[in-house]
Amino acid sequence: MSAIFKRFPSYRNGKVTLHDIEENLKTLCPEVQHLENLKASVGLARRESDFDQIDIETFKRVFGFHFSSDDEDTKKRYQSRLDDMLDRF
Count structural domains, the chain.
Answer: 1
List CB contacts of 7: < 8 A, sequence separation 6 or more.
28
pTM: 0.68
Of 86 and 47, which is predicted with more confidence?
47
Of the pLDDT bands very low, low, confident and very high (cuts 50, 70, 90), residue 81 is: low
Q: Tell me which residue range forms the domain holding 39.
A: 2-88
- d(Cα 5, Cα 8) in Å, to the nearest integer? 6
> How many residues are there in the chain?
89
pLDDT digits (tens, 9 = 90+) for 38-77: 888 888 898 888 788 999 998 888 888 777 655 555 555 6
